[in-house]
Amino acid sequence: MSIFSRFLPKRKPPELKNNIPKEKENIRKTFAVYCAKYHKPKNGKLCPACTALLATVFTKMDRCPYGITKPICDRCDRPCFGAKATQDFLTIMK
């Protein structure tokens, strides 16, 4: 305990926010816009290729070793996608 602890307000430890649901929603919206623009599915849903990639992305996010402290996927130092899936994901997210 330091001498200044009597005068300084006590700091709360930083709160960890679970941003994964918000990040998943943003990814889902981006996929919908991309697929509607480039693949033009007839039923208003995602095409099979985008649906498969989105399922892969969500599975990898759920299994992320960082948990709720995970960084944004394109800034992660431990890529969990294969080379093609990573390239496809980054193309859609740009």
Helix axes 48-62, 83-93, angle to 10 degrees: 100
The position carrying tokens 């996927």 is: 73
* Domain ranges, residue 52: 23-69+79-94
Task: Report if residue 11 sits inside a domain.
Answer: no
Task: Report if residue 63 sits inside a domain.
Answer: yes
Digit-by-digit pLDDT tens for the chain (94 residues) are 567 677 777 777 767 778 889 999 999 999 999 999 999 998 889 999 999 999 999 999 999 988 888 888 778 888 788 889 888 988 998 8
d(CA 81, CA 93): 15
51: Cβ–Cβ under 8 A, 6 or more apart, which residues?
Answer: 45
Q: How many distinct structural domains can be found in the chain?
A: 1
